[in-house]
Amino acid sequence: MARMKFLCDAERCIECNACVTACKNENEVPWGVNRRRVVTLNDGVPGEKSISVACMHCTDAPCAAVCPVDCFYTTDDGIVLHDKDLCIGCGYCFYACPFGAPQYPQQEAFGVRGKMDKCTFCAGGPTEDLADAEYAKYGANRVAEGKLPACAEMCSTKALLAGDGDMVADIYRERIMRRSGRPQTWGWDKAYGGGV
Amino acid sequence: MKNREQKKANGKRAHVRIMLWSLLLIAVGAMVAPLGGYLFVEIAEAQSFEQTNPRSETTWRDVRVGNEGITTVRGDETGVLIQNGGENWRQLRNGIVAAIMPWVMGIALVGISLVYFIGGKHKLDEKPSGRVVPRWKLWERVLHWSTATMFILLSITGLSLLFGRAVMIPLLGPEGFAAYAGVAMMTHNYVGPFFTACVALMALAWTWHNIPNRTDLAWFKAGGGFLKGKHPSAGRMNGGEKVWFWFIVLVGGAVCVSGVVMNFPIWGQTREMMQQANLVHAVAAILWIGLFFGHAYIGTLGTEGAIDGMKTGYVSVEWAKQHHDLWYEEVKDQEIDASEIGLESGVAVRQDRPASTG
């Protein structure tokens, strides 16, 4: 069984935000919800690096651990999904997540947030695969169609890799061998407990 | 002729020698030349890669400690790649808070049961005569009971959010509990600010009665009258009540402030603030619930006649003398017969007025 992972190659990311656009377009997410974002470090100075970040689908997901209604589950592919029918919009997953992945359609007084939304690795949700209800609540289910997440598929420099963790690691390791330098498997330690 | 042949042989030898040396050169070259790639890589690594693609020594270290970059996504802390506080919060909330705090409530309940079953009820020494004195005004009672109702509502809903996953999902099922938890969270979030306002009002209204003094010291030395024997002197509020009051002002205040921090995520609070507020909120609130058990017991089951003050506004003269003798001296000119003001409940008007326990 595959163990799905994201990897963003900081030496390749050119901060074009195509992944962000692809995600919004593919999943029709509401205004204000950003399942993926690109963060640039040392912007404008030599050594500038950009990273595209979304839910990393952690091995021991902190969001799932703190959820008061236990609405998270991990699929056989290692994708962390949640059930919006159970979610009460309390915001705890947002407190716990290291990557700032959980998003809310609202952020108002009296703790009104609405149901949490996050990257699904383009794998939909707990409802029936590829049903209209699934698309409305969770967005696309490309994994059920045998495809990979839209963000990684769209990446022009192939900086953002998505897929089976071993294959992603092999591709990345080969790149490191060719171009030298140290591997920077950004976020992997935090999400999966180890690098490439 | 011979000379010519000699020359030819020499030329042939030289030709072979050149050929051999060339072969050797080619062989050595073929072995050495590919190694030049390593040299090239060495040079490339030492110069061009670092020059064309420099990397700050601290970039990734900065990311790990939560320093911000820039991003086009609007919102609080969107530039932070890794936020470490969440993991600590998770460990503390799911670990220490969830594991230790239930014991506080358990110990409080066990302690109260022990006091009740071993020490027994704190009864009136004298048979009530039917005379009463006013203790709590109407607005004070309304304030008290509004706060009390909201406190109980908030306790139940709050505890549900912390322990419901472990305790209630097995009973209600995931869908049933989620439906309840949604309502519980809404109730908690909307009642909280009104409760906070009531707590603030109580703090303002009753501070004057709760200034600690020498009498309280003696009251504590005598064990608050829990030990059989003489009742220590007390003014309008005894030492125990003052402890409860100041506990509410300080610990309860922390609960209210931390609650407001989490309830209004519109002022740009960072996640770190929310995590800390959540921990303070849970720990302080459960301590509060623990002490509340004591307060509720003493005010109802534990002390005969104590509930009358908060229920009707009047307490029997005998209760006042027994528990708040100094205060009784202040208000004894307001003493009145229970029937005159139409009191319908309380020890002073009960048909079976308790006899002296001797």
Closest in A51, A69, A95 to B86, CB measured: A95
B11: CB partners within 8 A, 6+ apart: none
Residues B146 and B48 in one domain: no
Q: CA of B104: how far to CAs of A29, B97, B164, B281, in Å?
A: 45, 11, 17, 15
A159 is a domain residue: yes
Residues B37 and B157 in one domain: no
B248 is a domain residue: yes
- Cα dihedral across residues B5, B10, B14, B17: positive or negative: positive
Q: What is the pLDDT of residues A7-38, one digit of tens each?
A: 999 989 999 999 999 999 999 998 889 999 99
Residues B187 and B256 in one domain: yes
Closest in A69, A94, A190 to B177, CB measured: A69
A195 is a domain residue: no
pLDDT for res B262 = 96
CB contact (8 A) between residue B70 and residue A85? no
pLDDT for res A181 = 75
Would you say residue A167 has pLDDT above 90?
Answer: yes
Residues of A (154-183) whose Cβ lies below 8 Å from B:
179-181
- Pairwise CA distance, residues A139 & A118, whole Å: 10
pLDDT for res B229 = 61
- Please report where in the chains the tokens 């990557």 appear, as a residue: A99
Residues of chain A in contact with residue B180, where contact means CB-CB under 8 angstroms, are none
A10: CB partners within 8 A, 6+ apart: A49, A50, A51, A159, A184, A186
Would you say residue B243 has pLDDT above 50?
Answer: yes
In this complex, is the C-beta atom of B33 within 8 Å of any C-beta atom belonging to chain A?
no
B323 residue type, one letter: H
Residues of chain B in contact with residue A98, where contact means CB-CB under 8 angstroms, are 82-84, 86-87
Strand partners, B337: B131
Query: Which has the closest alpha carbon to A94: A102, A86, A105?
Result: A102
Looking at A48-52, A154-158, B54-58, which range is the least confident one? Answer: B54-58
Residues of chain B in contact with residue A94, where contact means CB-CB under 8 angstroms, are 271
Share of chain A above pLDDT 70, in %: 100
B356 is a domain residue: no
Residues B50 and B101 in one domain: no
Instruction: Determine the average pLDDT of the residues in B187-199.
Output: 97
pLDDT for res B90 = 97
Residues B49 and B136 in one domain: no
In this complex, is the C-beta atom of A39 within 8 Å of any C-beta atom belonging to chain B?
yes
A196 is a domain residue: no
- Please report where in the chains the tokens 């938890």 appear, as a residue: B181
Residues B109 and B19 in one domain: no
pLDDT for res B353 = 65
Q: HEC profile for chain B?
A: CHHHHHHHHHHHHHHHHHHHHHHHHHHHHHHHHHHHHHHHHHHHHHHHHHHHCCCCCCHHHHHHCCCECEECCCCCCCCECCCCHHHHHHHHHHHHHHHHHHHHHHHHHHHHHHHHHHHCCECCCCCCCCEEEECCCHHHHHHHHHHHHHHHHHHHHHHHHHHHHHHCHHHHHHHHHHHHHHHHHHHHHHHHHHHHHHHHHHHHHHCHHHCCCHHHHHHHHCHHHCCCCCCCCCCCCCHHHHHHHHHHHHHHHHHHHHHHHHHCCCCCCCHHHHHHHHHHHHHHHHHHHHHHHHHHHHHHHHECCHHHHHHHCEEEHHHHHHHCHHHHHHHHHHCEECCCCCCCCCCCCCCCCCCCCC
Task: List the end-to-end C-alpha distance of chain A, in Å, as a whole number.
Answer: 19
ipTM of this predicted complex?
A: 0.93
Q: What domain count does chain B have?
A: 2
Residues B200 and B106 in one domain: yes
Domain holding B330, by residue range, is 85-337
pLDDT for res B123 = 86
Cα angle for residues B326, B328, B331 (degrees, 5° grid): 120
Residues of chain B in contact with residue A109, where contact means CB-CB under 8 angstroms, are 263-264, 266
Confidence label for B278 from pLDDT (cuts 50, 70 and 90): very high
Would you say residue B53 has pLDDT above 70?
Answer: no
Closest in A43, A49, A96 to B86, CB measured: A96
Residues of chain A in contact with residue B80, where contact means CB-CB under 8 angstroms, are 39, 100
Task: Judge residue B94's burial from the number of C-beta atoms within 10 Å of its C-beta, 0-12 exposed, 13-18 middle, 19 or more buried.
Answer: middle
Residues B100 and B16 in one domain: no
CB contact (8 A) between residue A107 and residue B41? no
B349 is a domain residue: no
CB contact (8 A) between residue B178 and residue A71? yes
Instruction: Determine the average pLDDT of the residues in B33-59.
Output: 72
In this complex, is the C-beta atom of B280 within 8 Å of any C-beta atom belonging to chain A?
no
Residues B8 and B106 in one domain: no
Share of chain B above pLDDT 90, in %: 69
B259 is a domain residue: yes
Query: Which has the closest alpha carbon to A97: B114, B205, B85, B219?
Result: B85
Would you say residue B47 has pLDDT above 70?
Answer: no
Residues of A (83-142) whose Cβ lies below 8 Å from B:
85-92, 94-100, 107-113
Give backbone dihedrals phi and psi of A41, rounded to 5 degrees, phi first.
-100, 145
Nearest Cα residue in chain A from B98: A66
In this complex, is the C-beta atom of B58 within 8 Å of any C-beta atom belonging to chain A?
no
Q: CA of A104: how far to CAs of A39, A82, A125, B41, B75, in Å?
A: 19, 13, 17, 49, 11
pLDDT for res B231 = 80
In this complex, is the C-beta atom of A75 within 8 Å of any C-beta atom belonging to chain B?
no
CB contact (8 A) between residue A11 and residue B53? yes
Mutation site, B73, B171, B260, B272, interface A, largest A CB count within 10 A? B73
pLDDT for res B54 = 65
Q: CA of A178: how far to CAs of A47, B39, B213, B228, B353, in Å?
A: 20, 15, 80, 87, 95
| Å between B186 CA and nearest CA of chain A | 8
- Pairwise CA distance, residues B315 & B311, whole Å: 9
Check: pTM over 0.95? Answer yes or no. Answer: no
Instruction: Determine the average pLDDT of the residues in B79-99.
Output: 94
Confidence label for B35 from pLDDT (cuts 50, 70 and 90): confident
Residues B269 and B324 in one domain: yes
B314 is a domain residue: yes
- Pairwise CA distance, residues A103 & A95, whole Å: 11
Residues B132 and B245 in one domain: yes
Pairing mode of beta strands A4-8, A160-164: antiparallel
What's the token pair of residue A116?
């949490």
Query: Which has the closest alpha carbon to A48: A60, A59, A40, A57?
Result: A40
Q: Domain of B198: which CATH number?
A: 1.20.950.20
pLDDT for res A184 = 84
Instruction: Determine the average pLDDT of the residues in A125-142.
Output: 94
Confidence label for B161 from pLDDT (cuts 50, 70 and 90): very high
Strand partners, A80: A74
- Pairwise CA distance, residues B131 & A4, whole Å: 79
CB contact (8 A) between residue A109 and residue B83? no
pLDDT for res B50 = 57
B138 is a domain residue: yes
Residue A39's Cα: distance from chain center in Å?
14
Q: What is the pLDDT of residues A55-80, one digit of tens each?
A: 999 999 999 999 999 999 999 999 99
CB contact (8 A) between residue B89 and residue A95? yes
B342 is a domain residue: no
Q: Work out how many CB contacts closer than 8 A connect A with B.
A: 146
- Pairwise CA distance, residues A180 & A177, whole Å: 5
pLDDT for res B15 = 92
Helix (H, G, I), strand (E, B) or coil at A160: strand
Instruction: Determine the average pLDDT of the residues in A148-158.
Output: 96
Residues B332 and B221 in one domain: yes
Would you say residue B136 has pLDDT above 70?
Answer: yes
pLDDT for res B358 = 41
Nearest Cα residue in chain A from B193: A110
Closest in B41, B77, B266 to A100, CB measured: B77
Residues of chain B in contact with residue A151, where contact means CB-CB under 8 angstroms, are none
B221 residue type, one letter: K
Q: What domain count does chain A have?
A: 1
Q: What is the pLDDT of residues A79-130, one digit of tens each?
A: 999 999 999 999 999 999 999 999 999 889 999 999 999 999 999 999 999 9
Residues of chain B in contact with residue A88, where contact means CB-CB under 8 angstroms, are 178, 181-182, 185
Cα-trace Rg, chain A: 16
pLDDT: is A90 or B122 the higher one? A90
Q: Domain of A177: which CATH number?
A: 3.30.70.20
Q: What is the DSSP string of A42-107?
A: STTSTT-EEEEE-----TT-HHHHH-TT--EEE-TTS-EEE-TTT-----HHHHH-TT---B-S--
Share of chain B above pLDDT 70, in %: 92
Q: What is the pLDDT of residues B299-357, one digit of tens each?
A: 999 999 999 999 999 999 999 999 999 999 999 999 999 988 888 888 888 766 665 54
Confidence label for B55 from pLDDT (cuts 50, 70 and 90): low
pLDDT for res B40 = 79
What's the token pair of residue A46?
């030599």
Helix (H, G, I), strand (E, B) or coil at A2: coil
Domain holding A21, by residue range, is 4-190
Report yes or no: B282 and B262 within 8 Å, Cβ to Cβ.
Answer: no
Number of other residues whose CB lies within 10 A of the CB of residue B62: 17
B346 is a domain residue: no
